[in-house]
């Protein structure tokens, strides 16, 4: 599932905070006075320490982790995931005769560690997918640009964004829209097929799975996947704006949307995302036909 960061939270900040949460989780069970007479490792304290103190240590960590996750992520269920059935049983350690209390804390700690490491892995996956040079800018071409603008391989996008290097981002959502249109019988179907054919050709020109693929001098293409089980928003423009917000968190705001749709432009503006209307000289002539 794709976990989206809150506005203003960069990938670097999120990774640093998550790393701190995980470090704190690893220290659950350490004595507050810093004593080491029973061994210096948290694991030793987890085995030999007082269960009630260990439970209190874990509860304190949950409070800190919950506040941090609420600051970082839009999905409040991530913080809610700290309150498992086992969590409530840990809260009662010392108040009842819970069997194997320390083992229960260890199991819950390991479960939460897996959850947080998965969040870190997702951040790292997109950081690698959108790794860039200092002089590189990203553009996301809206579906209508790919359908009604010049074929994307014919445009010097580095000149368009006034950057030494430009990288076109194509999310899976845009690919799916093209795929849907190509067999629709609409007049844009030929252009959708031609665009997909060019993408397929670029994929075959490299051993890279997602890119970057060379389009022309100083212009590359990257395909951006979606995490497993990702649920898109019902309106595709809203989904693309949401994804671009995430991409900008990973790239320090380097992604600009290029569109022919004023509605998309307004949505991007509301989300404080860079967006530019496709200029008329990059429009495909209505009488022109992209050959198949």
User: What residue ranges do the domains of the chain occupy?
Assistant: 11-128, 133-282
Task: Give pTM, 2 decimals.
Answer: 0.85
Q: Mean pLDDT, the chain, as a whole number?
A: 89
SS3 233: coil
* Segment among 43-57, 83-97, 166-180 with least mean pLDDT: 43-57
Secondary structure string (H, E, C) spanning 89-125: HHHCECCECCCCHHHHHHHHHHHHHHHHHHHHHHHHH
| CA 96 remoteness from chain centre | 43
% of the chain at pLDDT higher than 90: 72
Instruction: Please state whether 5 falls in left (phi above 0), alpha (psi between -120 and 50) or beta.
Output: beta
- Over residues 192-235, the pLDDT tens digits come to 999 999 999 998 877 778 889 999 999 999 999 899 999 999 99
Distance CA 220, CA 203 (A): 12
For the structural domain made of 133-282, what CATH number should be given?
A: 3.40.50.1010
């Amino acid at each position: 599932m794709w976990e989206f960061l809150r506005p203003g939270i960069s990938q670097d900040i999120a990774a640093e905070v998550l790393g701190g949460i995980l470090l704190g989780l690893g220290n659950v069970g350490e004595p507050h006075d810093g004593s080491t007479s029973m061994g210096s490792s948290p694991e030793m304290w987890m085995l030999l320490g007082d269960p009630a103190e260990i439970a209190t240590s874990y509860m304190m960590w949950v409070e800190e982790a919950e506040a941090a996750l609420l600051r970082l992520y839009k999905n409040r269920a991530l913080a809610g995931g700290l309150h498992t059935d086992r969590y409530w049983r840990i809260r009662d350690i010392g108040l009842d005769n819970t069997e194997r209390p320390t083992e229960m804390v260890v199991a819950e700690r390991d479960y939460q560690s897996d959850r947080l490491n998965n969040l870190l892995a997702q951040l790292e996956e997109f950081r690698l997918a959108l790794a860039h040079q200092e002089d590189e800018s990203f553009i996301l071409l809206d579906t209508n640009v790919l359908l009604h603008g010049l074929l994307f391989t014919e445009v010097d996008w580095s000149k368009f964004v006034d950057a030494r290097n430009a990288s076109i981002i194509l999310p899976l959502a845009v690919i799916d829209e093209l795929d849907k249109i190509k067999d629709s019988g609409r007049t844009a179907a030929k252009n959708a097929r031609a665009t997909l054919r060019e993408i397929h050709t670029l994929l075959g020109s490299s051993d890279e799975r997602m890119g970057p693929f060379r389009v022309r001098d100083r212009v590359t293409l990257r395909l951006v996947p979606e995490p497993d089980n990702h649920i898109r928003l019902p309106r595709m423009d809203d989904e693309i704006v949401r994804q671009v917000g995430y991409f900008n968190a990973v790239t320090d705001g380097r992604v600009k949307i290029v569109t022919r749709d004023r509605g998309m432009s307004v949505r991007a503006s509301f989300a404080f995302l860079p967006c530019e209307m496709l200029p008329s000289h990059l429009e495909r002539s209505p009488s022109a036909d992209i050959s198949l």
